[in-house]
Every structure is written in C-alpha cells, then in structure tokens.
Structure 1
Amino acid sequence: MTLSPLAAHAGETVPYTVDGEAFEGYRAKPAGTSKGLVVVIHTWGGLTSYEEKRADMIAALGYEAFAIDLYGKGNRPVDTDSRRKEAEKLYNDRARMRKLLMAGLAEARREGDQPAVVVGYCFGGAAALELARSGDANGIKGYVTFHGVLKTPGGESYSAGTPPLLILHGGADTSVTMDDVAALSRELEAAKVPYEIQVYAGAPHGFTVWDTERYRKDADEKSWAAFTRFLGTQLRG
C-alpha cells in the first residue's frame, strides 16, 4: 500500500465563530453517500495543508471529514517557539480547549448529525483525549491518536462508557515515551475503557508527517491501515 498526500476529493474552507472569534475549519465530502463523520484535530502548527490532505484522504475512503481549528483564523505558527506557545495556551486552559473542541464538533455536524470518530495528530491527539475524558461529546464512536501527547492532566480521568480508543505510537518517540504509553494503558484498564495500542519500531514523534526527516513510510502506512480498520468497525452503522 502506498499513501499519497495528493487530494482525492478537494474540500473547502469553512468559516465559523466561537463567541464572536473567527475560526476556519475544512470540510471534505465523499463522492457518494457518507459512511460517517471523521473529525480531524491538527498538530501544534494549527490547521494546515497537512490536515486538509488527510481530510481529503478520509473522504476518499467514503467518510465525511471535518478538520477543526483550535487556534483561530490566520493563526498558523511556523517556528517551534511559536507553536509551543500556542499549544501551551490550550494545555494551560483545558476549559477553553474543551469549549473550542465542542464548537468545532458542532460545526462539523452542521450539515447533518452522523456518528463520528475523532482523530488527532500530535497536539491534536492530546485534544482528542481531552474530548474523550470530557464525556460531553454525544454520538462519538471512537477516538484515535497518531503520535499524540498521552499524559492525563492532574484532576482528570477516563470514565467507564468512554468509546474505544486507538493509540498509534512510534517506538522511537522521545517526546512521548513508552512510559507515557504504559501509564495510559493502566488508566484505561482501571476505567475499563476499550482500547488498542500499536507501536511502530523505529518511528519517531511525528512519523506520519510527509516531507520531514521524521517521516517513516512503513509506520505511516501501517498506522493508516489500522485507522481505516477502526473506522470500518466503529462507523459500520
């Protein structure tokens, strides 16, 4: 299997507001009847062409995809320090993170209430897990993280009844360690939350991001296949 970042179904930018603040999401629709909704959460760089291309690939699988914006219109930091600062604003204000997640989910469902899976990349993985712990997102059938940040903030926990989680992790990730993976596994076991964790040998943090030194083709393809199977199981109707 070879994954291509080229758009199979070109989507469109979707402007929306949260308490008067401007945001820009991205919607990609399948050619035929949608098999369900996939909500995509961006990396710490904001919603860029990377997430848009992933949304297009999801649409090519037959699902409607909506990439939400957690930073605000035009806020797409490009250097490491700026990206860290933007991500930390939300890491340090979990209430705002949840509010923006719920607003993005509402916008994703504006054209129809479909069963959904939420997927996040890196920082977006942390946001996806934040939504999973909130218990507020009705109609969500599962959560997926690609090389996501996995630590649970103090005072938060998972509850029984949380939809299944799929954790796709790089074995050579030095930002999110195997200790973090093990800690999450213990939390989910204690809460009796269904989950699956896949670890890809030699894959560093950000292993799915094309055109970077971190990209690992084998791990990208294997994790995408696992993600595709998960969608088929959780959104089978």
Structure 2
Amino acid sequence: MQSLTSGGRRIEVEWFAASGGSAEIARGSSARPAVLLLHGADGLTYAEGYRLAARTIAASGYHIAFVHYLDRTGDRRVAYGRLQQDFPLWAESVRDAVEWLADQPDTDAQRLGIVGISLGAALAFTTAAVEPRVRAIVDYFGPLPDELARERPRLPPTLILHGGVDPIVPVSHARALERLLQEQGTPHEIRIYEGQGHALTDSAQLDAAARVTRFLGRHLQAASAEGATGFAGA
C-alpha cells in the first residue's frame, strides 16, 4: 500500500504495476502510461471487484493507482447528507493524485487517464476539466456534475458505459455527456447496455472490459505520438 497527502490527510493508494504492453517494450521505452482508478460512493464495499479491474487493466500495460479518496473525509462510504460539501474535497484529492501519479517512477506523465465508476466518474470529469495531463476518461455510470453541464469545459477523449435502466444515475446523464463531447468535437465512444442497471453483468461486463482495453490503447498507448498537447485522434 502506498499513499499521498492531500489537505493534510493521508490518502491510501493501491498500486498495480503494469505487467503487459509488448508495444512499449518493442519501442524500448520503460515509461508506461498510467491510470487512476476511482471507486464509487460505495467506497471499498466491493473492493475486490475494483482490484480485479485494476489487475486486468495493468495486464494490458498500464500502471494503475486505485485511490481511496474517501480517506480525505474519513469515510468508508459516502455520507449522502454531506455529498455537496465533501465533493470539492474529494476533487482536490483526485487532482493531488494526478500530480502524485505523474511523479511515479517509470510513469509517462503525458499519458495519464482516469477510470471512474459512478461518483468516481463525476470526479474524473471535474478533474479533467482543469488538469490537461488527463488524456482519457473511462466513465462507468457517471453523473455529469451540474457545474460542468453549465460551464461545458473541454474534456479529453471519453468512453461512456452506462446501463439503459440505471435507477441511480439515469441514462440521461450519459446522453448529456455525449452531446457535450459532440459539440466540442472530442473523440468519444458510447455504449448503452439495454436492460442493465447501475452495474454490468455477464456478457455486458465482458464487452465493457474489452472496450476499455481498446479505448485506452487508442488514446494512451498512442498518445506519445501526438505530443504533449492536444488529444489523440479517434
């Protein structure tokens, strides 16, 4: 277990080193793209599921930092009565986590991404709106924060994955994000899984995992060829 400091609080980070990525080895590069993994409002309730996702992505050649951002407020799960007042604190901690990730050995600071689940995806959008080093977002069932819906900042390439009958974050959030990305001309992909709720099961889960691998490969593995500014093409 590693850690970073944010707002004077210790934030634990589970580190999963890249274990694949033959293209990186072929190019003779030791610096790997790296990804923050942000859990949902459930915190570590389903930690083993998040860890399985981290290991799967790491096997494709990415360093993964699974950030326990609720440590900032001392919570194990989100206290919904404090959600609005705590969200800016968690967002600050995620920005600090991007800074921390960029400084890790063998990490390419120009090829950073975020995989966010539900609340974690909302934090990914908020972070990427002000942090240009975030070059790709994977959004699982994320709500588009009201502030971003109003201000419409430019976001990096985004993969949107959402259940068609999600009772917690309605699919309208996915459609609103899609419209924002279309307006900006930002590379994006969207997959709405009909009949799926606020989690993916069976074949939908496998399909989503394959899409994540392809998407990150397109926008992070190839990002170094695009330079330090701008986004990788679709």
Same fold (TM over 0.5): yes
* 1:217 aligned onto 2:202: yes
Q: Aligned match of 1:148 in 128, 138, 142?
A: 142
Partner of 2:69: 70
* 1:230 aligned onto 2:215: yes
Partner of 1:100: 93
Q: Displacement of 1:21 after TM fit?
A: 1.0
Q: Displacement of 1:163 after TM fit?
A: 1.4
Q: Aligned match of 1:20 in 8, 19, 23?
A: 8
- Asked whether the equivalents of residues 36 and 66 of structure 2 are also in contact (C-alpha less than 8 Å), the reply is yes
From the superposition, tell whether residues 110 and 52 of structure 1 become closer, same or farther in structure 2 (CA, over 3 Å): farther
What letter is aligned with 1:147?
A: F
From the superposition, tell whether residues 90 and 193 of structure 1 become closer, same or farther in structure 2 (CA, over 3 Å): farther
Q: Distance in 2 between matches of 1:132 and 1:31?
A: 26
Partner of 2:19: 31
Q: Displacement of 1:38 after TM fit?
A: 1.2
- TM-score, normalised with respect to structure 1: 0.77
From the superposition, tell whether residues 218 and 103 of structure 1 become closer, same or farther in structure 2 (CA, over 3 Å): same
From the superposition, tell whether residues 34 and 201 of structure 1 become closer, same or farther in structure 2 (CA, over 3 Å): farther
- Asked whether the equivalents of residues 151 and 180 of structure 1 are also in contact (C-alpha less than 8 Å), the reply is no
- Asked whether the equivalents of residues 7 and 72 of structure 2 are also in contact (C-alpha less than 8 Å), the reply is no
Q: Distance in 1 between matches of 2:118 and 2:93?
A: 17
Q: Distance in 1 between matches of 2:212 and 2:182?
A: 21
- TM-score, normalised with respect to structure 2: 0.78
For these two proteins, the number of residue pairs brought into alignment is: 208
Q: Distance in 2 between matches of 1:91 and 1:51?
A: 24
* Mapping for residues 69-148 of structure 1, pairs under 5 Å: 69-72=68-71, 75=74, 77=76, 83-85=77-79, 89-112=82-105, 113-114=107-108, 115-133=111-129, 135=130, 137-148=131-142
What letter is aligned with 1:70?
A: Y
Q: Displacement of 1:191 after TM fit?
A: 3.4
User: Residue 206 of structure 2: SS of its match in structure 1?
Assistant: helix
Q: Aligned match of 1:190 in 164, 167, 183?
A: 183
What letter is aligned with 2:91?
A: R
Partner of 1:49: 48
* Mapping for residues 162-181 of structure 1, pairs under 5 Å: 162-181=155-174
| Superposed CA offset, 1:98-130 (max 9, x none) | 311111112222324411111101111111111
From the superposition, tell whether residues 191 and 31 of structure 1 become closer, same or farther in structure 2 (CA, over 3 Å): closer
From the superposition, tell whether residues 143 and 95 of structure 1 become closer, same or farther in structure 2 (CA, over 3 Å): same
Q: Distance in 2 between matches of 1:154 and 1:138?
A: 16
Q: Distance in 2 between matches of 1:29 and 1:173?
A: 33
Q: Displacement of 1:26 after TM fit?
A: 0.8
Gaps of at least 5 residues in structure 2 are 21-29, 225-234
- Asked whether the equivalents of residues 181 and 188 of structure 2 are also in contact (C-alpha less than 8 Å), the reply is yes
Gaps of at least 5 residues in structure 1 are 1-12, 78-82, 208-215
Q: Displacement of 1:23 after TM fit?
A: 1.4
Q: Displacement of 1:170 after TM fit?
A: 0.8
Q: Displacement of 1:46 after TM fit?
A: 2.0
Partner of 2:152: 158
| Superposed CA offset, 1:159-192 (max 9, x none) | 34x3111110111212222322222222333333
- Asked whether the equivalents of residues 118 and 140 of structure 1 are also in contact (C-alpha less than 8 Å), the reply is yes
Q: Distance in 2 between matches of 1:106 and 1:169?
A: 29
What is the alpha-carbon root mean square deviation over aligned residues? 2.5
Q: Displacement of 1:43 after TM fit?
A: 1.2
Q: Distance in 2 between matches of 1:154 and 1:62?
A: 31
- Asked whether the equivalents of residues 10 and 71 of structure 2 are also in contact (C-alpha less than 8 Å), the reply is yes
Partner of 2:193: 200
